[in-house]
Amino acid sequence: MSVQKPVLIREDGRRIDGRRPDEMRPVKIAVGVLKNANGSALVEYGETRVLAAVYGPREALPKYMSMPMRATLRVRYHMAPFSTDERKSPAPTRREIELSKVIREALEAVVFSSLFPRTGIDVFIEVLQADGGTRTAGLTAASIALADAGIPLKDIVIGVAIGKVNGVLVLDINGLEDEYGEADMPVGIAPNLGEIVLFQLNGVLTREEVKVGLDMAFKAAENIYKIAKEALYNKYIKVLEEVKFE
Amino acid sequence: MSTTTPTLKILVADRQIVRPGDCLALIEGVFEQKLKHIPEKHIYILGNRVYSDVVGVVSIENNTLSVVPLESTYIPRKDDTVIGVISGVSVSSWSVDIKSPYKAILPASDVIEGFNPAIHNLRNYLDIGDYVLAKVAAFDRLRDPVLTVKGKGLGKIIDGYVVEIKPSKVARVIGKKGSMYNLLTNMTKCELVVGVNGYIWARCPDERVLDVLVKAIRLIETKAHMRGLTEEVRSYLASKLGVQL
C-alpha cells in the first residue's frame, strides 16, 4: 500500500483546511520587527511565515555590481533549514535562485531606483515556516519592508497564489494543496495601479480559468493590501502610544 | 503642469499618514499618460491622480501637496553642512562616513596648508573615528561627494557631544523658520550645530543640561510626525531645567 492522496475538496465543497475555495488563510502583518534593518516586515499567510529585511540604499558591494544610472536591487529568497518538516539544506537551491530572480524583477517594477544611482538595495527574504505560498508571502513582506525602509515605491506589491485542486479553482493554496493539486499560479499585484508584476504558472489552466483566477487574485490582493496599509500605519501609531506611557 | 493647479482636488488631510500608492488628490483637466515622478515632493502623477511614493506625512501648504517621509536616506547636495566620521586614511585624502550611500572624500590639501605627502602624515591631523564638521564642496552623482573644511567654524570637532538622529528628522529639529532650533538653543543655552545628514553637535554648559537636551532631541525624533511638538518640547525643557516659560 502506498501513501494515499488526501481528500482536497470535501463533499460539502470546502477544502482540506475547511476554507471555501475563494477564502484566504488568515493574514497577519507586522512592520518594523528588526532593529538593525532599515525596514522589515513579518508576513503570515496561515501557517506560512516569512520575514523580510531591507538594507539600504547603501554602497553597492562588490563595486562592479553598482550601476551608474540606478540602484542595484539584490534579492535573496531563502528557506530556513527548519522551515520545512524535513530539514532543508541551507545552501541556495535552483528553486531559491529562481524565486530570488522573479521577486527581484517584480520589485524592480515598483521601486524608483533611479533616485539612488550607484547604490545597492538589499532585500533578504527568509522563510521561517513553509506551508505553501512562500514566494507570494515573501513578495508581500519584501515590498512592505521596502516601504518601511522609506524607499520610494510606486505601490506596495501583494503576492497571492491561485491553485487548482480536484478541478476546483482555489485561492491561496496551502502546502498540501500545492503538493497534490493540479496547478499553482502565483501572482504579484500592485493594487493601486492595477498592475501585475509577477506571474507564474505551474501546471495547466484553461484560458477561462486564468481569467477567473486573476479576478480572485485581484479581489484577495485588495484585502491583503488593507491589512498591509493598516500595519504600516500602526507602526507609527504604536510609537505615539509608547511615548505617552513614558 | 504643476501640482499647484487650482483644479487640484485634495482627498487627504494635512498631517495624515500615507503609504506608497495612496491616492492623494485628483487633478481635473489634466491626464498624464506616462508616470510623472516628483522626487522632492515624494509624489507621482499618473492619469489624473496624484499618489504618494513613501510612507510619510502629508503636508499641504498654499494648495501645494507634498509628502514628508518618515524614513529616508541622506543624499548629499552641494553646500550642505554635514558632520562626518573619518573612516579611512590614504596618502592624500581621508574618506569620511556621512551616513549616506556615498562615501565622502576630504582632500588633505584642504586641511593642511602646503600639503606634501612626503612630509605630512594625515593621521597626525585627523584619525579614524574623529568627527569633522564640513561642507559638501562637490557632488554630481557620478563621483563621490567631496568635502571641504574651509569656512567659518568648520573642521575637526574637539569638544562637546555629537548626537545621532535619523536624517528624516533633521527638518523637525530645525523646525519652521528655525523655531525648534531657536527653542532648543535659547532654553538650554547650548550651542548646537545641525548637520543635515543626521548628526547634531552640542556644546552645553554642563552635563545635566546636555542630558536634558539629548532627551529632548530623542523626543523630537520619536514624535516627529505629531502636531504641537514645539509646545511639548518647550514644556518638557521647562520642567526639566526649571526655567520660566
- Output DSSP code: residue A192: T
Q: Which pLDDT value is given to residue A138?
A: 96
- What is the CATH number for B50? 2.40.50.100
Q: Which pLDDT value is given to residue A9?
A: 86
**pLDDT (average), residues B127-133:** 93
Cis peptide preceding A62, ω within 30 of 0: yes
Instruction: Assess whether pLDDT exceeds 70 at residue A240.
Output: no
Rounded to two decimals, the ipTM of the complex is: 0.85
Q: Which pLDDT value is given to residue A1?
A: 65
Are both B181 and B146 inside the same structural domain?
no
Q: Which pLDDT value is given to residue A245?
A: 43
B214 Cβ contact partners less than 8 Å away, ≥ 6 residues apart: B161, B163, B202
**pLDDT (average), residues B105-117:** 89
B23 in A contact zone (CB under 8 Å)? yes
Domain termination residue (choose one: B156, B173, B194): B156
Single-letter amino acid code for the residue at A155: D
Does the residue B186 lie in any domain?
A: yes
Q: Which pLDDT value is given to residue B15?
A: 81
- What is the CATH number for B109? 2.40.50.140
> Any idea which of A101-115, B105-119, B161-175, B231-245 has the lowest mean pLDDT?
B231-245
Instruction: Assess whether pLDDT exceeds 90 at residue B168.
Output: no
Q: Which residue of B has its CA nearest to A229?
A: B19
- Taking each helix axis as running N to C, give the angle between helix A134-148 and helix A207-245, from 0 to 180 degrees, rounded to the nearest 10: 40
Q: What is the pTM of this model?
A: 0.90
Q: Mind listing the domains of chain A with CATH numbers?
A: 27-245 (3.30.230.70)
Number of domains forming the structure of chain B: 3
**What does the block give as the cell for A126?**
527568509
**Of A26, A42, A27, the residue nearest A148 (C-alpha):** A42
Confidence category of residue B7, pLDDT binned at 50, 70, 90: confident
Are both B118 and B170 inside the same structural domain?
no
Alpha helices in A94-133 (DSSP H): 94-108
Confidence category of residue A241, pLDDT binned at 50, 70, 90: low
Instruction: Assess whether pLDDT exceeds 70 at residue B104.
Output: yes
A230 in B contact zone (CB under 8 Å)? no
**Of A131, A202, A125, the residue nearest A162 (C-alpha):** A202
DSSP chain B: --TT-TTEEE-S-TT-EE-TT-EEEEETT--EEEEEEEGGGTEEEEETEEEE-SSEEEEEETTEEEEEESS------TT-EEEEEEEEE-SSEEEEE-SSSS-EEEEHHHHSTT--TTT--GGGT--TT-EEEEEEEE--SSS--EEE--STT-EE--SSEEEE--GGGHHHHH-GGGHHHHHHHHHH--EEEEETTTEEEEE-SSHHHHHHHHHHHHHHHHTTTSTTHHHHHHHHHHHHHT---
Q: Which of B17, B19, B139 to mutate to test the interface with A (most CBs of A within 10 A)?
A: B19
**pLDDT (average), residues B187-216:** 89
Q: Which residue of A has its CA nearest to B22?
A: A192
A75 in B contact zone (CB under 8 Å)? no
- Output DSSP code: residue A98: H
Are both B118 and B143 inside the same structural domain?
yes
- What is the CATH number for B221? 3.30.1370.10
Does the residue B143 lie in any domain?
A: yes
Domain termination residue (choose one: B156, B175, B210): B156
Give the closest-approach CA distance of B90 to chain A in angstroms.
19
Q: Which pLDDT value is given to residue A246?
A: 40
3-state secondary structure (DSSP) of residue A74: strand
**pLDDT (average), residues B44-58:** 90
The answer to whether the CB of A71 falls within 8 A of the CB of A121 is yes
**Looking at chain A from residue 210 to 229, which residues have their Cβ under 8 Å from any Cβ of chain B?**
229
Are both B199 and B236 inside the same structural domain?
yes
3-state secondary structure (DSSP) of residue A154: coil
A107 in B contact zone (CB under 8 Å)? no
Instruction: Assess whether pLDDT exceeds 60 at residue B52.
Output: yes
**pLDDT (average), residues B89-97:** 92
Does the residue B75 lie in any domain?
A: no
**Of A186, A217, A185, the residue nearest A204 (C-alpha):** A185
Does the residue B74 lie in any domain?
A: no
Confidence category of residue A63, pLDDT binned at 50, 70, 90: confident
Distance CA B23, CA B25 (A): 6
The answer to whether the CB of B193 falls within 8 A of the CB of B143 is no
Nearest CB among A118, A150, A155 relative to B55 is that of A150
Confidence category of residue A238, pLDDT binned at 50, 70, 90: low
Are both B237 and B168 inside the same structural domain?
yes
| A195-199 and A158-165 strand pairing | unpaired
Does the residue B126 lie in any domain?
A: yes
Q: What are phi and psi of B5, to 5 degrees?
A: -55, 140
Instruction: Assess whether pLDDT exceeds 70 at residue B187.
Output: yes
Are both B168 and B148 inside the same structural domain?
no
Q: Between B15 and B138, where is the model more confident?
A: B138
pLDDT tens column, A4-44 = 788 888 888 889 889 999 999 999 999 999 999 999 999 99
**pLDDT (average), residues B33-53:** 90
Does the residue B202 lie in any domain?
A: yes
> Any idea which of A227-231, B192-196, B238-242 has the lowest mean pLDDT?
B238-242
The tally of CA atoms less than 13 A away on the side-chain side of residue A106 is 33
B153 Cβ contact partners less than 8 Å away, ≥ 6 residues apart: B133, B193
Instruction: Assess whether pLDDT exceeds 80 at residue A239.
Output: no
CB contacts < 8 Å between A and B, how many?
A: 90
Tell me the percentage of chain B whose pLDDT exceeds 70.
Answer: 96
> Any idea which of A60-69, A162-171, B86-95 has the lowest mean pLDDT?
A60-69
Are both B222 and B165 inside the same structural domain?
yes
Are both B148 and B166 inside the same structural domain?
no
Domain termination residue (choose one: B156, B176, B210): B156
**Of A153, A157, A146, A228, the residue nearest A199 (C-alpha):** A157
Q: Which pLDDT value is given to residue B115?
A: 87
φ/ψ bin of B159: left (φ > 0), alpha (ψ from -120 to 50), beta (otherwise): beta
Distance CA B206, CA B40 (A): 40
Does the residue B210 lie in any domain?
A: yes
Q: Output the CA angle A217-A218-A223, nearest 5 degrees.
A: 95
Confidence category of residue A215, pLDDT binned at 50, 70, 90: very high
Taking contacts as CB-CB distances below 8 angstroms, the residues of chain A near B75 are 115-116
Contact A240 B141 (CB under 8 A): no
Q: What is the mean pLDDT of chain A?
A: 91
Taking contacts as CB-CB distances below 8 angstroms, the residues of chain B near A244 are none
Q: Which domain holds residue B45?
A: 8-69
Does the residue B1 lie in any domain?
A: no
Are both B104 and B167 inside the same structural domain?
no
Confidence category of residue A243, pLDDT binned at 50, 70, 90: very low
